[in-house]
Amino acid sequence: MALLTLKTTIGREITVMKDIRERVQKEGHNIKAMVHPGELDGYVILEGQEKDIRKVVRNVRHAKGIISGDVDIGEIDKFLESDEIEIEIERDDIVEVVGGPFKGEKGKVTRVDESNSEVTLELLDATVPIPVTVGIGSVKIKESSGD
């Protein structure tokens, strides 16, 4: 097994991982794991057969290419330990977006996706309600629906 680093468009790491997962499921490539360390914007680390990794990432949108060289597990060990995050955001909460392209906007939460740590919200100042999905870490609660 090899550990390889994939350079991606910053902010599109999760999208790239979802596209790779779909290809692996559909085509049966030998890729065992993927991780996007939050501290390393623009990178995804993949574990699997090197030829399969190189084949599956070819033509994936927002994937820039494999950085040459195998990664030592000791180099990424600190990224593999996860801290449990208590999700306190609920449907109908009013939140403010604190990061990304919608920074400063307020919205009403319509869905909480705990498995992907994302929330879907409708922006309050938008003329037409458009659902926007952002990471839970990119919002802060202004008004709780339980208040």
At residue 80 the predicted structure's pLDDT band, cuts being 50, 70 and 90, is low
The CATH code belonging to domain 2-80 is 3.30.70.940
Q: Are 9 and 40 in contact (CB under 8 A)?
A: no
pLDDT of residue 82: 59
Mean pLDDT on 41-60: 90
Rounded to whole angstroms, the Cα distance separating 87 from 96 reads: 16
Cα separation, 16 vs 8, whole angstroms: 8
Residues linked to residue 34 through DSSP beta bridges, in sequence order: 46
- Looking at the predicted structure, is the pLDDT value of residue 84 above 60? no
Which pLDDT tens digit goes with each residue over 96-147?
998 878 889 999 999 998 888 899 999 998 888 889 999 888 888 988 876 5
pLDDT tens, position by position, 7-21: 999 999 999 999 999
- pTM, to two decimals: 0.53
Query: Residue 86 — pLDDT band, cuts 50, 70, 90?
Result: low
Report the pLDDT value the prediction gives residue 102, as an integer from 0 to 100.
Answer: 85
- Would you kindly state where each structural domain of the chain is located, as residue ranges? 2-80, 94-143
- The DSSP code for 143 is E
User: Which residues on adjacent β-strands are paired with residue 112?
Assistant: 119
Give the number of other Cβ atoms within 10 Å of residue 58's Cβ.
11
**Phi-psi category of 123—alpha, beta or left, where left has phi over 0 and alpha has psi -120 to 50?**
beta
Q: How far apart are CA 128 and CA 131, in angstroms?
A: 10
What is the model's pLDDT at position 144? 84
Average pLDDT score over residue span 45-55: 89
CATH architecture of the domain with range 94-143: Roll (2.30)
